[in-house]
Structure 1
Amino acid sequence: MGFGKIFLLNMALLITMAYLANILYKYVLVKISSKINYILSVLWFIFAGWICMKFGFQLKGDVLFDLRIVPLIIAAIVYAKPVVVMIISFGIGLSRLTFGISEAALAGTINFFILGILCAVMITWMNKRQFKQSTRGILTILVLNTVNVLNIGIFGVIPFKEYILTIMPSTLPITLLFSCIFALILLDFQMDQRRKLELLHTNELMTRQTEELRQAKLSLEERAGQLAQASQYKSEFLANMSHELRTPLNSIINLAEMISESEEEHEGEALEKDTPNYGNIIYKSGRELLQLINDILDLSKVEAGRLEVVQEEVVLAEVVQLMELQFEHDAEQKGIEFEVTMMPELPSTIQADAQRLCQILRNLLSNAFKFTHQGRVDLMIHKDSSACSTSGEWIVFSVADTGIGIPQDKHEAIFEMFRQADGSISRKYGGTGLGLPISQDLARLMGGFIQVDSREGAGSLFHLYLPLIQNETADGLSDEEKEAHGDED
């Protein structure tokens, strides 16, 4: 009857449509949203069923035999939503009416309505059982082809006996064969797509890992550079430390040896004459050595995270008096003017760690005197409410000098451990370079910070900011005392 040729033509058309759909998807549809692609794929299945009917085998007037069931079988395998497969089945069934409304056309429409409902039930059942793709394909092909044969025999215009004995033996094997072939083609296409997606995913993963490795390499190189730089700074620091430690130690040892060896009378007279000078040198060397040891101990506490402060009431007048007594002699020796100024609006006491506050001010003033050969050094204490973006007032200890100054590009370096504005400075002026880094850490522990404003050859200005917390001592002052201190709170 020619069923084989017509069905083979249908199969060729379906394969051609599948190939064209693949081409369109790769180069056109991939740029469109997934929702539109989904709708277009449903329409493609309906159109594939219509094409099969268009080139189907016409028997006894309006009776058509074709492979329109193959697109429905493939849709039932591909789509996981029962409603979508029902829409495709109903669409193929209704498209049969486009070739004319007749008893055979109505029978074909009813057949696909029944097949659509059956597909929905099967998909729901298979989804619950979580069958593999191959099992779903085999069950779908066998069940739909079997029911299709029964529907044609029951609802078709050809007598049941005639159809079962003469037509079905030819059409059913061909339909089963071509359904299996097309399902295998679809499976191969899906596997190819899966391989491409896996390859794409692998490429993206490798690209991401390569970028991560590159970033890690850059980070390691940066870290290695920092470690090398830190090692260099520590080497310079140790070289400076050896010089700083030897100088006072040699003075103490040599002078002690001279005193112990002076036993003769004329030497004793000379010794008695020079003893005050020797004692002064030994005292000064001992102080320098003690300061070095204190710096090293504070450094070890900072690096171990064990440096602590104790907040207590600190009388500002006592701090000022202590600084004046400690540095007046240095100012006289170097012929430098030294002045301490307290603004009238200051409270009498503040909350801070007295020992650490004095340590910071000593470091700042010591540097000011060390690097100033002529001119003056000033310490001014005042309040400031615009130190940073946070609300509240700050008490500011400003140390100004007319010394050698600091280059603009070295302002951050002077607050780093083992670094100085110039490595040769320690040779010329002495010192370990730890004073400012330790002072910055102490200021942070007390809730404050240190700022520097300096230019090379134009002197330096260091500001120590501490949060000003009004306390009961300030609040308890009399009205006359508040007016004397300028307390406006």
Structure 2
Amino acid sequence: MEYIKIFFINTALLITLAYLANLVFKHTISHASEQTKQAAWIIMAIFAGWLSSFFGYRLDDNVIFDLRYVPLIISAIAYPQPLLLILIGVSTGLLRFTFGINAAAGAGMINLSILGLICAALSPWIRRSPVSMIAKGLVVVLTVNFFNAVNIIIFGVIPFYEYVSKIMPITFPAGMALSILFALIARDFHLEHRRMLEIEQVNALLSEQTNELHKNKIILEERAKQLMLASQYKSEFLANMSHELRTPLNGIINLSELIAENDDSIDREEIQSYGSLIHRSGKDLLLLINDILDLSKVEAGKLEIVHEEVNVSELPAMLFEQFDVVAKQRGLDFTIKLEEGLPETMVSDPQRMQQILRNLLSNAFKFTHKGGVSLTVRREKRRQGAREGFWIVWEVKDTGIGIAKDKHLSIFEAFQQADGTISRQYGGTGLGLSISRDLARLIGGFITLQSQEGKGSAFSLYLPAAGQDKA
């Protein structure tokens, strides 16, 4: 009966240790890496085997009967990995020497090492077999208990007849029963742990879905806001367009009507003046229509780009001739500067370059009341995205009203201006910068903006100078 008492004490100790280990696992390493969890399991299993020996039944000064192999059984079911099981078996066997170095300790070390190898041999079957976990556990319990008895018979220091007739009839069934009992209790711990993990995973998934819904809500709100703003900008655009279109159209209709009703009371000079006004109104109307057509072509991807050599010094001269008159009419300074190191020519679309620079210069003169406007052409090395190289920079700088920092991006969008009411004072459709930005992209460049409200603006058109690095 002493064997059974000690085995029950061993089982109680192992259950207590498993319960404490479960608590420690929940509150310390439950979120640790898999390697950390395995290391903790190995340490706990080896310590549990040593604890069983410490409270085992001492037949004499050297021989100890205990359930030190039970942690190995549980390890084979929980972590069926050969190296891990061999490590637990050999380490538990070596700890037997802490109770004395003798023949019985050597037999105990050999016994646990062999049991570790047997569990390692069973581990591939445990991982791959389709049978239930209960069936696998029963096979492991029976196998380990059987070979434990066989090893004691072969390597043990107890005489064969005494062990087989007096000890084994008690220890073998008791060990089997208590191993099964502990395995069932450990299985409950394992199931509880798995349920906790599933709950944590479900909570994490719900939290992730909640965050995703919150992000989607923010995105939808932002899109709704953008749609509302787009609707507002288009409404403003239509109002501005109706004004911009009506003004030249009314002028053309009224003046042409006066000429048609000429009853010789209007002299030739007055007719020429009317004709000049009709011509100017027609040009303004054509510019508006061209802006709208260009925007629609760009958005539809049907705008044709022609690459040819462009004279770098000739284009600024043409722009100077065109805008010098505007500068003198408005009492503004207009200067053009070509810095040193520029190539003579570059490859681009001259028509689109002129269109972009005309838009930028027109805006500069439109929003500048005093001071002046300048066009500077220079060569600059710059990284843009993954591309680094030399660029030809066309910088249009003015001393006008400037642009608020929070409007630096929005003014490049179609139908938008820095101020929704700005067109009432200055005119325009709000399409010029949007078209210029898209045209710059189509010819391989980009536009940057530096501006401060009340202190003027600087728009820079960057165009690639590929093949001109020797200049």
Instruction: Give yes or no for TM over 0.5.
Output: yes
* In structure 1, C-alpha distance between the alignment counterparts of 2:228 and 2:280, rounded to whole Å: 36
Task: Check conservation: 1:42, 1:84, Cα contact below 8 A.
Answer: no
In structure 1, the partner of 2:264 is 269
In structure 1, the partner of 2:390 is 392
Task: Check conservation: 1:417, 1:434, Cα contact below 8 A.
Answer: yes
Task: Check conservation: 1:312, 1:353, Cα contact below 8 A.
Answer: yes
**Which whole-Å deviations, capped at 9, do the CAs of 1:330-378 have from their partners, x for residues lacking one?**
556x3636756464856654433222222233323433444456x6755
Task: Check conservation: 1:419, 1:433, Cα contact below 8 A.
Answer: yes
Distance 1:160 1:451, change over 3 A: closer
Q: How does 1:133-148 map to 2 (within 5 A)?
A: 133-148=133-148
Give the root-mean-square deviation of aligned CA atoms. 4.0
Q: How does 1:254-403 map to 2 (within 5 A)?
A: 254-260=254-260, 262=261, 267-270=262-265, 273=268, 274-315=270-311, 319=315, 322-323=318-319, 326-327=322-323, 330=326, 334=329, 336=331, 341=336, 343=338, 349-372=345-368, 380=375, 382-385=377-380, 391-392=389-390, 394=392, 396=394, 398=396, 400=398
Matched, 1:426 2:429: no
* In structure 2, C-alpha distance between the alignment counterparts of 1:240 and 1:362, rounded to whole Å: 21
Distance 1:233 1:149, change over 3 A: same
Structure 1 unaligned segments of length 5 or more: list them: 476-487
Helix, strand or coil at the partner of 2:264: helix
CA positional deviation for 1:120: 3.5
Helix, strand or coil at the partner of 1:180: helix
Distance 1:48 1:241, change over 3 A: same
In structure 2, the partner of 1:417 is 414
**Which whole-Å deviations, capped at 9, do the CAs of 1:443-462 have from their partners, x for residues lacking one?**
34334444556666666555
CA positional deviation for 1:28: 5.8
- Range with greater deviation from structure 2 (421-430 or 102-111): 102-111
In structure 1, the partner of 2:51 is 48
* In structure 2, C-alpha distance between the alignment counterparts of 1:73 and 1:320, rounded to whole Å: 89
Task: Check conservation: 1:17, 1:48, Cα contact below 8 A.
Answer: no
CA positional deviation for 1:288: 1.2
Matched, 1:406 2:409: no
Letter in 2 for 1:279: G
With structure 2 as the length reference, what TM-score do the two structures score?
0.80
CA positional deviation for 1:440: 3.1
With structure 1 as the length reference, what TM-score do the two structures score?
0.78
- Range with greater deviation from structure 2 (454-463 or 241-250): 454-463
CA positional deviation for 1:407: 4.0
* In structure 2, C-alpha distance between the alignment counterparts of 1:353 and 1:296, rounded to whole Å: 20
Structure 2 unaligned segments of length 5 or more: list them: none
Task: Check conservation: 2:93, 2:109, Cα contact below 8 A.
Answer: yes
In structure 2, the partner of 1:480 is none
* In structure 2, C-alpha distance between the alignment counterparts of 1:381 and 1:466, rounded to whole Å: 14
Distance 1:124 1:314, change over 3 A: closer
Letter in 1 for 2:238: L
In structure 2, the partner of 1:5 is 5
Distance 1:43 1:245, change over 3 A: same
CA positional deviation for 1:241: 0.5
Task: Check conservation: 1:395, 1:468, Cα contact below 8 A.
Answer: no
Task: Check conservation: 2:46, 2:71, Cα contact below 8 A.
Answer: no
Structure exhibiting the larger radius of gyration computed from Cα positions: 1
In structure 2, the partner of 1:442 is 439
**Which whole-Å deviations, capped at 9, do the CAs of 1:288-330 have from their partners, x for residues lacking one?**
1111100001111232344343222234665456445544655
**Which whole-Å deviations, capped at 9, do the CAs of 1:173-220 have from their partners, x for residues lacking one?**
322221111110111111111112222222223223322332232222
Helix, strand or coil at the partner of 2:418: coil
Q: How does 1:240-255 map to 2 (within 5 A)?
A: 240-255=240-255
* In structure 1, C-alpha distance between the alignment counterparts of 2:140 and 2:166, rounded to whole Å: 25
* In structure 1, C-alpha distance between the alignment counterparts of 2:45 and 2:278, rounded to whole Å: 100
Task: Check conservation: 1:96, 1:105, Cα contact below 8 A.
Answer: yes
Letter in 1 for 2:182: F
Task: Check conservation: 1:46, 1:91, Cα contact below 8 A.
Answer: no
Helix, strand or coil at the partner of 1:392: strand
